[in-house]
A and B are shown apart, each in its own frame.
Chain A
Amino acid sequence: MLDQIKEFASGFFVTGDPLIYGADVAIAMTMIAVVSVLTYFKKWTWLWREWLTTVDHKRIGIMYVIASLLMLFRGGVDALLMRLQLAVPNNDFLTPEHYNAIFTTHGVIMILFMAMPLMFGLFNLVVPLQIGARDVAFPFLNSLSFWLFFFGAMLFNVSFVIGGSPDAGWLSYPPLSGKAFSPGVGQDFYIWGIQISGIGSLATGINFVVTILKMRAPGMKLFKMPMFTWSVLSSSLTILLAFPILTVTIALLFIDRYFGAHFFTLDGGGNPMMYINLIWMWGHPEVYIVVLPAFGIFSEIVATFSRKRLFGYASMVFALMSIAVFSFTTWAHHFFTMGSGADVNAFFAITTMAIAIPTGVKVFNWLFTMYRGRISFPTPMMWTMGFIPCFIVGGMTGVMLSVAPADFQFHNSYFLIAHFHQVLIGGVAFGYFAGLYYWWPKVFGFKLNEKIGKWAFWLWNIGFYVCFMPQYALGLMGMTRRMSTYGWDRGWWELNLTSTIGGFLMGIGFLFQVWQILHSIKFMEKDTTGDPWDARTLEWSIPSPAPHYNFATIPVVDSKDAWWEEKQRLVQGEAPKPKPPLEPIHMPKNSGIPFIMGFCWFVAGFGLVFDWLWMAIPGLLGVAGCMLAHSFNYNTDYYIPVDEIKATEAAARRSV
């Protein structure tokens, strides 16, 4: 009996690596600390009532941001471990197997569990406020999306200590990811972690398309929407069309692994290259999904801190929407070397080069917005300034990669690694950081410390170039991606060591940001204006943090930068628009079902990973039960009485 348990445990838990044992201890201690703090301060009810069951878009947004920053930490540690391993030749810090697992989880976590939720967090925090709405179109679904993401991410992360991590690359190409070559449970964690959170991503896409199309304040025509809202619309539409492809592809991989089908195996009439074709049909739009909102963020920030209306509004909208559509026409550039012939490669090379055009339009629009503006450089603007040159270089190397014949040299080399990190860090990460700094005072009611923020900015920026510029050279010198070690005779070690130093500079930059947040929570003064940046759009017209109903009376919009125009009218001595009398506000009620349903999915997913039907079936029944319970729940909404609105507004004004 004891031997059986021992045997089970040695397969169930990941063993044999001191790094993992250290992580086990750290995880256990963190969990004990969280549980005891919550119990000691009697916060369990508070946690459940105020956060776990909330359907308020602002709180869901905050939870997304917290979760994604934790994931940024984990993905960042993965990156630093890899850089440590590569710092010197013939290093045996990580075994090749461990290295494979680490680059796989680094990629999946950074894209799917860091960039996506941080993006959804910003959607949630900003969009309803920007369009003058009181919540998203489907608040319950919004909460469900979050919990599906959360439990999907947890399921994926559990693989770190239980069962073993996936190690077939972030896109899990067969045949390596098939049962024959990856018999362990790592790939199943990959499949179910992504599937469960993917349902949530798709639902969020639907939610924001409907919110933006149906819930804008009166007078806000489509062409009067703020640019960030436009970028969210384009990104959400792309999610709507791209994520089903991912779901189907991963489901086919699951059928191959679980039922022994032959979609992606060469024997039995399948073709692994079909997987590569399908996954990049999602994968390429995906990078535009995450970068489009960053473009929207930069547009808001550049206009605000240049004190000018955004240059070329219509061309900006056109660029966003055309990128959203044409992102679906370039996928084959990820596998020029697969051998589909000159015609196919030429077509996809040209579409890839063409998609650089609308992106170029946007860069010029930002520059022209700044031209003759009264520019100031607080941290959000600094990140924008860091972004523009970084993204231009990243875009240029992208155009180099799009030249199909040349790509046969660059393919899967460190040149490629440097390119996509440059657009994803320089574009997406810098963009979301800029957005977080910019909207932080709206969400929490105080600005983040500028001085520490500038330290973080410079560390990140210098660290970035020190880390990735050498990798372009390494790629041209023949270093391919995913190699876990190399010899002294290659002549690569100086550049690799430099790159590692850059990686650690970015890590220190991240620590500065953590310090900045903690320091600001303790020391920063409360923002009493609700509009600390003297900004242009509606979210700045209400107190910070926004009351839970957002707008006491729904604003009427008659121009693009509605709040800016309103302020200009006040400056010129015009009387403010008379506000209509307060009415009771219709709001959605909190619900525990999304959390429970997410947990049931986790149970079902865990059961499916280990092929324990006794666990998977009750989990899925729980999911069905939650759906049923919600279908028969008619008690979903309530009205906030006028007196309560008056009291809340008065309290907010006192602090204003």
Chain B
Amino acid sequence: MAQHSAHDSHGGHDQGAHGSLKSYLTGFVLSLVLTVIPLLVVLNDWLEGTPAMVVLLGSAVLQFVVQLLFFMHLREEGKPRYNLMTLLLGIFILVLIVGGSIWIMTYNQVAH
């Protein structure tokens, strides 16, 4: 949406071009590789149980990082780094919610 903030005072917040062909290609290849790894591991039964889980979750987290760095342009943000700050806050809350739920539900006396 065309906004009228840019000319008020905060002009110059544009961060120039978003990425280059090279960075997009790198990101694309990395995300493909990170998709293929868990797929192969599961389809070919290379790993089972905990090791398989670790590989799956590990590549998922790396996939997340690739998305942020190569497509969400987290590195190229101008200061102040609001995107980074909100991301960190979001991750903190996420860990709290997931970890807290697991903790609470694991020790739930009624459910056992």
List A residues at the B interface (Cβ < 8 Å). 133-135, 137-141, 213-218, 237, 240-241, 245, 271, 273-274, 277-278, 281, 325, 328-329, 331-332, 338-341, 343-344, 554, 585-588, 636-637
Contact = CB atoms under 8 A, between A and B. Distances in A.
B15 interface: no
Contact of B90 (A218, A241, A329, A338): A241
A441 B13 CA distance: 36
B109 A329 contact: no
Most buried by A among B13, B82, B110: B110
A277 B104 contact: yes
28 contacts: A138-B1, A213-B82, A216-B9, A217-B8, A217-B9, A218-B9, A240-B86, A241-B93, A271-B111, A273-B108, A273-B111, A274-B101, A277-B105, A325-B89, A325-B92, A328-B93, A328-B97, A329-B96, A329-B100, A339-B110, A340-B105, A340-B107, A340-B109, A343-B107, A344-B107, A587-B4, A636-B1, A636-B2
Contact of B8 (A215, A332, A636, A637): A215
Contact of B7 (A137, A344, A586): A586
B44 interface: no
B46 interface: no
B93 A273 contact: no
Given A133-B5, A138-B1, A241-B93, A344 B104 contact: yes
Nearest to B82: A213
B34 to A, nearest CB: 25
B3 interface: yes
Interface of B: 1-5, 7-10, 13, 82, 86, 89-90, 92-93, 96-97, 100-101, 103-105, 107-111
Contacts of A332: 100, 104
A interface secondary structure, majority: helix
Given A587-B4, A636-B1, A241 B100 contact: no
A241 B4 contact: no
Contact of A328 (B1, B13, B96, B110): B96
A278 B7 CA distance: 43
A102 B2 CA distance: 45
Contacts of B10: 214-215
A245 B92 CA distance: 15
Nearest to B3: A137
Contacts, number: 87
Contacts of B3: 137-138
Contacts of A344: 103-104, 107
Nearest to B103: A344
A245 B7 contact: no
B5 A137 contact: yes
Ranked nearest first, the 6 interchain pairs of A and B with the lowest CB-CB distance are: A218-B9, A586-B4, A339-B109, A341-B107, A215-B5, A339-B110
A273 B96 contact: no
B90 to A, nearest CB: 7
Nearest to A583: B7
Contacts of A343: 107
A554 B8 contact: yes
Nearest to A634: B2
B10 to A, nearest CB: 6
Given A137-B5, A281-B101, A636-B2, 7 more contacts: A215-B10, A237-B86, A271-B111, A274-B105, A332-B104, A339-B110, A340-B108
A281 B105 CA distance: 14
A135 B105 CA distance: 45
